Amino acid sequence: MTKTNDTPSSRDIEAALSEANKMVDLIKTPDAEVTDDERRWVAESTYQNFADHINKGFLEYRKSVTETEDFALTDWQGEGSILKDVMGREYIDMLGGFGLYTLGIRHPKVIAAVKAQLDRSPQYSQEMLDPLRAHLAKVIAKLTPGDIQYGFFANSGTEAVDGAMKLAKLYTGESGFISTLKGFHGKSLGALSLLGKAVFRKPLLPLLDGVRQVPFGDADAIEQELKAAKEVGDGIAGVVVEPIQGEAGAIEPPDDYWPRLRQICDKYEVLLIADEVQTGFGRTGKIFGVDHWGVTPDIMCFGKALGGGVIAMSGFFSTAKIWKCLEPNPFMHTTTTGGNPVACAAALAQITVLLEEGLADQAAEKGEYIKKKVLELKEKYPHIIKGIRGRGLLLGMEFPNDEIGYKVASGLFSRNVLTAGTLNNAETVRLEPALNIPYELIDEMLKRLEETFESFG
């Protein structure tokens, strides 16, 4: 690889124009006409540009993709559950963009809706009323449980969580929150205050005051914190929890956990906020994660899958009773690009595919199939794999330690299967493919997984 450049470059307008034109021209070139030299330039320059202009740490973290032959493996195109790097090599996508690709890559119905909206208007005026945003909100209101009715659209999951926190504070007049250890809610300063991992929180302290974390799945611990807060006069606005912890490794709570959270939050008059950014829209085998327990939260946060794997899209939704606190000043929470027409077109198309193709049911069935097959491998290779957990197609394979997990993830990658550990930990390796992944690709992945286990000797 080329050495990284630590010296800041001076302004060069002509070079900037030349570099921009070079990539724009390449984007517009049909893939069959892209030359081998151009492909190699993309691979080599991507590595160099990450080193010089993004973050050298990514190159160390993604050793498996940067130490192959003499150039980095570079995302280039994909369809369904197959990814291709810039050199044309194919990979089975068992990662699904960490929950982004519930419909697979470039689902034709989503692509068609986005292209059509681009030809009409890619953004709105900011002054006139925008019909797609209003219609999408109506559709989601019909999908969500209970009397959840109103929503706000943004671009990323962390924005949705931040917005939900603001809404909870406005409605209750309180400022504190309770979240869970190992929980993941995003990395903006508000959402980061809820996040249950020191590695991301500690370097940025102090964060928001009044946030308490308790073990996930322990409803008694949440009640104890609420009781203590009430006794000392600390106001709690809401309890923020993932239905199933995603980044922590597909951790499921006890079956009575969510029903008890609903009862406890009602008892102490705090809002129950479900972070469905990763579990929403079919991922766990139900339309929403909370549907497994028949619970209606006060606020729900969405993201990842909402934009159909094509456009960045997120949102948070609540009831008319709670939303009323925003009516006196509807500009208390705004964004310029959130809920833009292209994103709304993608989200509406995503929902039609989700429902027409029964993707939640597919996730439930395929998840059980994968778990059964992996547990069969556990019987053959008990020294390598401990088990598998999760619901639907939010699954985590458990390994005895980080070293073995990394070796499995790396072995799968060398066999052209894309997956990953959970953030900085490979003790759990995630399987989070598209909900419509064909069984043929699942079986091929399982075959390559066993080949990886056999390679351990």
Q: Is residue 167 part of a domain?
A: yes
Q: What is the pLDDT of residue 190?
A: 92
Show which of 11, 39, 66 is a domain's final residue: 66
> Is 5 part of any domain?
yes
SS3 414: helix
Does 295 share its domain with 189?
yes
Q: What is the DSSP letter of 206?
A: S
- Beta-bridged to residue 315, according to DSSP, are 153, 302
Give yes or no: residues 350 and 383 share one domain.
Answer: no
Print the domain residue range for 27.
1-66
Whether residues 178 and 317 fall in one domain:
yes
Instruction: Report which of 287, 339, 354, 279 is spatially closest to residue 109, judged by C-alpha positions.
Output: 354
Reported for 446-452, long-range contacts at CB under 8 A and 24+ positions apart, including other chains, are 446/370, 446/373, 446/374, 446/377, 448/92, 448/412, 448/415, 448/416, 448/417, 449/374, 449/377, 449/408, 449/412, 449/417, 450/377, 450/380, 451/411, 451/415, 452/408, 452/411, 452/412, 452/415
Which CATH number covers residue 285? 3.40.640.10
- 333, 386: one domain: no
Average pLDDT (128-138) is 94
- The neighbour count for residue 18, using CB atoms within 10 Å, is 10
Rounded to an integer, the average pLDDT of 59-86 is 72
Q: 96 in a domain, yes or no?
A: no
**Per-residue pLDDT tens over the stretch 252-263:** 999 999 999 999
> Phi, psi (5° rounding) for residue 50?
-65, -40
420 in the same domain as 365:
yes
Burial of 53 (0-12, 13-18, 19+ CB in 10 A): exposed
Which tens digit of pLDDT belongs to each residue from 162-210? 999 999 999 999 999 999 999 999 999 999 999 988 888 999 999 999 9
Percentage of residues of the chain with pLDDT beyond 70: 95
Question: What confidence category does residue 158 fall into, taking pLDDT thresholds of 50, 70 and 90?
Answer: very high
158 and 27 together in one domain:
no
Q: Is the pLDDT of residue 71 over 60?
A: no
Q: What percent of the chain has pLDDT over 90?
A: 81
**pLDDT tens profile 399-419:** 999 999 989 998 999 999 999
In this structure, are 201 and 315 located in the same domain?
yes
Q: What is the pTM of this model?
A: 0.93
Domain stops at, among 356, 384, 400: 356
**End-of-domain residue from the set 40, 66, 92:** 66
pLDDT at 419: 93
Whether 100 is covered by a domain: the verdict is: no
Burial of 38 (0-12, 13-18, 19+ CB in 10 A): middle
Instruction: Find the CATH number of the domain harbouring 405.
Output: 3.90.1150.10
Is 336 among the domain residues? yes
Q: Give the mean pLDDT of the chain.
A: 92
Q: Is 157 helix (H, G, I), strand (E, B) or coil?
A: helix
Residue 72 has pLDDT above 60, yes or no: no
In a domain, 78, yes or no: no
Q: Tell me: pLDDT of 1 over 50.
A: no
Residue 220 counted as domain residue: yes
Q: Could you tell me if 286 and 323 lie in one domain? A: yes
Q: What is the DSSP annotation of 362-377?
A: HHHHHHHHHHHHHHHH
Which pLDDT belongs to residue 9? Answer: 61
Count Cβ atoms within 10 A of the Cβ of residue 129 and give its class: 0-12 exposed, 13-18 middle, 19 or more buried.
exposed
Q: How confident is the model at residue 66 (pLDDT cuts 50, 70, 90)?
A: very low
At 344, give phi and psi (nearest 5°): -65, -40
Position 86 pLDDT exceeds 50: yes
Mean pLDDT for 58-72 is 56
Residues 297 and 370 in one domain: no
268 lies in the same domain as 379: no
Are 349 and 378 in a shared domain? Answer: no
Number of domains in the chain: 3
Statement to judge: residues 183 and 279 lie in one domain: yes
